[in-house]
């Protein structure tokens, strides 16, 4: 008996707390603004509190205890992840007339905001959510702390100990000779005044103290803060304002978090439309390192359903958007959010509820992981205004609505229909008012048909077996005969048809995370994996940690590679899956500022790019030009590893023209590229010297011992 208890305890201790709860594509996320959800503990409401809930810029009482109380409600919607607004300790004063009830004005990344609770409450939330099959994703804000000109003036604490504020830091700041920016803990480069180039990432976003993530203290501090959530059982992060941080730092930050387990991390890159000149275009054209919120397509969806616009145009915009992603099904789609006007507050149509249902069903069936913003299920809107902060009214709980039924039905279907979770995206027919798109994955298919105009009998070609099909939402019917589908669609209707046949061949639908380093756990989601088999990554067999028919967990092996992407294949029952890509990093990466003296490069047309001989640098990266005469970029680099780089010029959306130049460097926090391969590094030299010294000492000691023995 004792032994059994001991073994059970050991298993419990060894079972990591951290893991993406399930394959993320199988789930739906429910987004909660904690202060506005439910007040489970009135004793933590003061100060900066408005009991009447009339001042939208003060605390209204919601907290972690309230969220825990409402977990059964959340579960009733069929969702499997909760994204909570930032929980870290925020400033204790008003700034610009508002309190940080939203959580985006952090002062201490190691503590929980006292209006929301404490670490025990967070751990209890994770535990209680887990009992209900739900995991918790934390909104984390590593770009900036809090306002520099009001409130607490960028005050920063390390688990209660004061570190600095923006003015003290300004006194200590020095100019970085490479970037030309004054910096210490923060950047001191004014406010973002142009939304591109250096200011985009190295200046204050709306007056918020902008972190210098390359300062090693800041780097560890922000990483440790996020680790506390991971260690307390968070299954992922929504990372705020990724547009304003160096991609290279983010990559290193994510890799460190992933070393805790296969977390689901997605970034917020705020851009209402996907422009070619956008930094996001560069971010995605080559790197594709993390999923992002689908902000650009959200705008298209709302315009089309709440105002005007053709479904044919929308389908083209969506296809274009998805074409930028290595894994389109990892896009995080949403209809409403705390930053945008809620759909039901946006337009002014008589049929807005039906249109809302259509847009909601679309969000839940597009490639990607859907987010439901709190209150979407209960048609929550504010009577007092539209955008921020009026898109954050106090929650009204009602899970008996048509919207709640749509969410629940499609969340359930996502668990059983592989095409809804992992399928591709193909429009079969589209006009201004009607649209049919299909998603397929192996032997599973999904067909979404809609009509926002007068009732119509829609016919179109489809490669489905003959028969009558019944829609999952309303029981609508579709007849298929000889490759022609025919379906009657009332005004403002949306139907979802589906097929699930047995999946015999292994097929990979998702890898979480799809950026990884050796030794890291990844979850492979898909179908037809059978009871056991092998997973091959970059030609090497990976260690299997668990195996189910639709989900495998493996450890990424160490590879001798210089490519950025490597193939992952599942072999089961003598059948091989088609390969899917994994973005491979060598491991032990540090965030490095890589620079080249502009005089070495000469004139450049467009942007200067580099790519290099190690996986971290294998995809081209754009460089910025500083006022101090350097081109620079931030990239993860394995410490001590020598590498070479080549250069290109051009625009992100065109072909890159190679320049005839190769330079060299060795992985470190700052690397100035040189024309000659570097001499052996100091550390390596010292290492060699030590080895020589130890060998010499050893030989001398041995000689002395021999002489001494002979004398005796
Ligand atoms: C984006 C967040 O979603 C928004 O609510 C916040 O104010 C800004 N980032 C700044 O943190
Ligand atoms: Ca409270
Ligand atoms: Ca920044």
What is the 3 state secondary structure string of 669-692?
CEEECECCCCCCCHHHHHHHHHHH
Protein residue with its CA nearest to atom 2 in ligand 1:
240
Q: Tokens in use for 608? A: 């200067």
Angstrom CA distances, 518 to 545, 563, 572, 589, stand at 14, 14, 23, 11
Protein residue with its CA nearest to atom 3 in ligand 1:
339
Q: From the CA of 114, which ligand is nearest?
A: 2
What span, in angstroms and rounded, lies between the C-alpha atoms of 474 and 410? 12
Closest-lying ligand 1 atom to the alpha carbon of residue 339: 5
Residues paired with 648 in a beta bridge: 609, 658
Residues 381-432 have pLDDT tens digits of 999 999 999 999 999 999 999 999 999 999 999 999 999 999 999 999 999 9
pLDDT value of position 499: 98
Closest-lying ligand 1 atom to the alpha carbon of residue 338: 5
Q: From the CA of 145, which ligand is nearest?
A: 1
46 is catalytic: no
DSSP secondary structure code for residue 648 in this structure: E
Protein residue with its CA nearest to atom 7 in ligand 1:
104
Calculate Rg over the CA atoms of the chain: 27
Protein residue with its CA nearest to atom 4 in ligand 1:
339
Question: 106, exposed or middle or buried, with CB in 10 Å at 0-12, 13-18, 19+?
Answer: buried
Q: From the CA of 198, which ligand is nearest?
A: 3
Give residues whose Cβ lies within 5 Å of ion ligand 2: 39, 41, 44-45, 61, 63
pLDDT value of position 21: 65
Q: What string of H, E and C letters represents the secondary structure of 23-75?
A: CHHHCCEEEECHHHCCCCCHHHCCCCECCCCCCCCCECCCCHHHHHHCHHHHH
Protein residue with its CA nearest to atom 11 in ligand 1:
104
Residue 216: CA count within 13 A, CB half-sphere: 4
139 is catalytic: no
pTM (global) more than 0.75: yes
What span, in angstroms and rounded, lies between the C-alpha atoms of 705 and 174? 57
Task: For ligand 1, say whether the CB of 243 is within 6 Å of any of its atoms.
Answer: no
Provide the 10 A C-beta neighbour count for residue 255. 22
- Give me ligand 3 centre to Cα 291, in Å: 19
pLDDT value of position 286: 78
Nearest to 364 by CA among 5, 19, 30: 30
Q: Tokens in use for 532? A: 């056991």
Mutate which of 240, 266, 269, 338 for ligand 1 pocket (most atoms within 8 A of beta carbon)? 240
Closest-lying ligand 1 atom to the alpha carbon of residue 388: 5
- Give me ligand 3 centre to Cα 204, in Å: 7
Task: For ligand 1, say whether the CB of 211 is within 6 Å of any of its atoms.
Answer: no
Backbone φ and ψ for 413, nearest 5 degrees, come out as -65, -35
Residue of 25, 39, 240, 377 marked catalytic: 240
pLDDT value of position 654: 85
What span, in angstroms and rounded, lies between the C-alpha atoms of 373 and 268? 15
- Give me ligand 2 centre to Cα 21, in Å: 28
Protein residue with its CA nearest to atom 6 in ligand 1:
104
Task: For ligand 1, say whether the CB of 104 is within 6 Å of any of its atoms.
Answer: yes
What span, in angstroms and rounded, lies between the C-alpha atoms of 254 and 264? 10
Task: For ligand 1, say whether the CB of 489 is within 6 Å of any of its atoms.
Answer: no
Q: What residues have CB less than 8 Å from 156, skipping those under 6 apart?
A: 107, 108, 145, 162, 163, 164, 165, 185, 209
Q: Pairing between strand 493-500 and 515-516? A: unpaired
- Give me ligand 2 centre to Cα 87, in Å: 13
- Give me ligand 1 centre to Cα 23, in Å: 27
Mutate which of 339, 371, 389, 390 for ligand 1 pocket (most atoms within 8 A of beta carbon)? 339
Closest-lying ligand 1 atom to the alpha carbon of residue 104: 11
Task: For ligand 1, say whether the CB of 621 is within 6 Å of any of its atoms.
Answer: no
Protein residue with its CA nearest to atom 10 in ligand 1:
104
Residue of 165, 251, 268, 300 marked catalytic: 268
- Give me ligand 3 centre to Cα 219, in Å: 13
In the numeric block, the tokens 């300062």 are attached to: 215
Beta strands in 203-354 (DSSP E): 208-210, 236-239, 264-267, 332-334
Provide the 10 A C-beta neighbour count for residue 52. 7
Long-range CB contacts (within 8 A, 24+) of 154-162? 154/186, 154/209, 155/91, 155/107, 156/107, 156/108, 156/185, 156/209, 157/89, 157/107, 157/108, 157/110, 157/111, 158/108, 158/110, 158/221, 159/108, 159/110, 159/111, 160/108, 160/110, 160/111
Residue 12 CA from chain centroid, whole number: 29
Task: For ligand 1, say whether the CB of 338 is within 6 Å of any of its atoms.
Answer: yes
Residue 663 CA from chain centroid, whole number: 33
- Give me ligand 1 centre to Cα 240, in Å: 6
pLDDT value of position 339: 98
Q: What residues have CB less than 8 Å from 653, skipping those under 6 apart?
A: 276, 281, 285
Closest-lying ligand 1 atom to the alpha carbon of residue 206: 10
- Give me ligand 2 centre to Cα 66, in Å: 7
What span, in angstroms and rounded, lies between the C-alpha atoms of 59 and 115? 8
Provide the 10 A C-beta neighbour count for residue 109. 24
- Give me ligand 2 centre to Cα 677, in Å: 60
CB 182 within 8 A of CB 173: yes
Residues paired with 460 in a beta bridge: 485
Angstrom CA distances, 442 to 150, 474, 548, 571, stand at 56, 26, 17, 16
Please list the ranges in the chain whose pLDDT falls under 70.
Answer: 1-21, 680-712
């Amino acid at each position: 008996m004792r032994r059994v208890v001991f073994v059970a305890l050991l298993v419990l201790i060894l079972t990591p707390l951290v893991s993406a709860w399930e394959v993320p594509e199988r789930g739906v996320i429910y987004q909660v603004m904690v202060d506005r959800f439910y007040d489970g503990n009135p004793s933590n409401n003061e100060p900066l509190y408005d009991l009447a809930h009339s001042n939208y810029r003060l605390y209204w009482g919601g907290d972690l205890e309230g969220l825990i109380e409402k977990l059964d409600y959340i579960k009733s919607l069929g969702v499997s992840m909760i994204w909570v607004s930032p929980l870290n300790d925020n400033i204790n004063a008003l700034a610009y007339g508002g309190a940080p009830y939203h959580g985006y004005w952090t002062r201490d990344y190691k503590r929980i905001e006292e209006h929301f609770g404490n670490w025990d409450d967070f751990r209890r939330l994770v535990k209680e959510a887990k009992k209900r099959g739900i995991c918790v994703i934390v909104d984390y804000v590593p770009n900036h702390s809090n306002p520099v000109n009001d409130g607490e003036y960028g005050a920063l604490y390390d688990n209660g100990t004061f570190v600095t504020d923006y003015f003290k830091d300004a006194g200590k700041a020095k100019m970085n000779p490479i970037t030309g920016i004054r910096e210490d803990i923060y950047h001191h480069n004014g406010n973002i005044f142009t939304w591109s180039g250096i200011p985009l990432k190295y200046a204050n976003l709306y007056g918020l103290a902008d972190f210098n993530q390359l300062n090693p203290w800041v780097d560890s501090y922000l990483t440790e803060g996020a680790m506390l959530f991971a260690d307390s059982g968070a299954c992922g992060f929504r990372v705020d304002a990724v547009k304003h941080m160096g991609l290279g730092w983010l990559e290193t930050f994510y890799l460190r978090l992933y070393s805790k387990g296969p977390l689901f991390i997605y970034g917020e890159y705020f851009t209402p439309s996907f422009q070619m000149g956008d930094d996001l275009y560069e971010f995605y054209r080559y790197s594709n390192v993390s999923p992002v919120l689908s902000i650009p397509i959200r705008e298209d969806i709302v315009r089309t359903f709440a105002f005007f616009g053709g479904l044919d145009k929308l389908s083209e915009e969506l296809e274009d958007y998805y074409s930028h992603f290595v894994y389109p099904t990892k896009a995080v789609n949403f209809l409403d959010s705390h930053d945008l006007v809620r759909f039901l507050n946006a337009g002014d149509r008589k049929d807005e509820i039906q249109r809302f249902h259509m847009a909601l069903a679309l969000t839940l069936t597009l490639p990607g992981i859907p987010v439901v913003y709190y209150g979407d299920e209960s048609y929550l809107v504010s009577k007092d205004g539209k955008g921020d902060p009026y898109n954050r009214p106090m929650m009204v709980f009602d899970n008996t609505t048509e919207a709640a039924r749509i969410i629940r039905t499609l969340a359930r279907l996502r668990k059983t229909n592989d095409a809804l979770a992992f399928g591709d995206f193909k429009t079969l027919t589209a006009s201004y008012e009607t649209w049919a798109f299909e998603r397929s994955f192996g032997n599973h298919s999904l067909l979404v048909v809609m009509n926002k105009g007068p009732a119509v009998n829609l016919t179109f070609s489809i490669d489905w077996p003959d028969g009558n099909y019944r829609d999952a939402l309303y029981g609508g019917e579709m007849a298929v005969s000889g490759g022609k589908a025919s379906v009657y669609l009332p005004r403002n209707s949306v139907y979802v048809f589906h097929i699930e046949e047995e999946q015999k061949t292994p097929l990979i639908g998702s890898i979480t995370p799809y950026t990884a380093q050796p030794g890291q756990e990844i979850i492979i989601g898909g179908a037809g994996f059978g009871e056991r088999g092998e997973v091959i990554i970059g030609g090497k067999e990976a260690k299997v940690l668990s195996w189910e028919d639709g989900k495998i967990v493996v450890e990424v092996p160490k590879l001798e590679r210089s490519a950025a992407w490597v193939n992952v294949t599942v072999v089961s029952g003598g059948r091989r899956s088609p390969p899917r890509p994994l973005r491979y990093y060598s491991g032990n990466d540090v965030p490095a500022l890589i620079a080249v003296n502009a005089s070495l490069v000469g004139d450049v047309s467009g942007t200067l790019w580099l790519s290099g001989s190690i996986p971290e640098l294998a995809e081209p990266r754009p460089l910025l030009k500083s006022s101090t005469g350097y081109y620079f970029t931030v990239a993860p680099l394995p410490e001590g590893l020598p590498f070479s780089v080549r250069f290109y010029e051009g625009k992100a959306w065109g072909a890159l023209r190679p320049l005839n130049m190769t330079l060299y460097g060795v992985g470190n926090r700052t690397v100035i590229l040189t024309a000659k391969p570097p001499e052996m590094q100091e550390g390596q030299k010292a290492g060699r010297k030590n080895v020589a010294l130890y060998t010499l000492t050893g030989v001398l000691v041995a000689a002395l011992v021999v002489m001494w023995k002979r004398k005796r």
